[in-house]
Each structure stands twice: as C-alpha cells, then as structure tokens.
Amino acid sequence: KNQVEQSPQSLIILEGKNCTLQCNYTVSPFSNLRWYKQDTGRGPVSLTIMTFSENTKSNGRYTATLDADTKQSSLHITASQLSDSASYICVVSLARSQGNLIFGKGTKLSVKP
C-alpha cells in the first residue's frame, strides 16, 4: 500500500533553534517528493520538490534531503522563527499515468519565544 509516514506528529521548539522533521514512504513507483508548509486556516504552500536524482534542496532556511534507497526524507529548519509555526506536510508523487500525490498527515511545529 502506498503510504507516507511523518514523525514526530508534533514538535515544540524555542525560537532560534534548529529542528528536523522526518518522512518515510512506501510509495512505488516513485516520481518525486515534496514538502509543503500549511499555516492554520490556510492552504498548503510548496517549499521544495525533489526528484529521484536529487538528494538535497534548499529554500531559504528550509533544507530538504532525500534518500531514495531507504525511502526517507527530512526537512531541516535552521534558526527557527515564530512564523515557522505551522504544519509541514510530506507528499510523494506516483510515477503513473495519473500522477497522483500521496500526502502524509503532517508534523505540527510550534515555535515558542
């Protein structure tokens, strides 16, 4: 079964600290992996998209890694800010005709002052 599992479910950190969110997937055939940020009450916003051949991609203070062999990805947030408080969703795209996206349940991050 195609699944995307994220950990931890929730996380609280202090402003200025770094954190790493994890994503494991059992999606096949794999096309690409995406990380989204979703603020409360809003739609998800794309942070990064990585294909099979890419093992790291950055977007400002966000750095995503991908290990296609172990089917794991991580999202590292550097020098966290209060505005980073949100849910972070890992999404894996299937390499099939309809190109469906499989969404994880997300990690809810709270950054405290």
Question: Residues in the site for another protein, rule: CB under 8 A?
Answer: 4, 31-32, 41-46, 49, 51, 89, 93-106
Nearest to 20 by CA among 38, 8, 37: 8
**Nearer to another protein among residue 82 and residue 95 (C-beta):** 95
Beta bridge partners of 91: 34, 103
What DSSP string runs through 40-76? TTS--EEEEEEETT--EEEETTEEEEEETTTTEEEEE
Q: Given the complex with another protein, which of 12 and 45 has the nearer CB atom?
A: 45
CB 98, min distance to another protein, A? 6
Shortest distance (Å) from residue 58 CB to another protein? 16
Phi, psi of 110 (to 5 degrees): -120, 125
Give the residue with the Cβ less far from another protein, 19 or 35.
Answer: 35
| Phi, psi at 84, each rounded to 5° | -80, -10
Residue 35 or 77 with smaller CB distance to another protein: 35
Quote the least distance from Cβ 31 to another protein, whole Å.
6
Residue 81 belongs to what H/E stretch? none
- Shortest distance in whole angstroms from residue 33 CB to another protein: 10
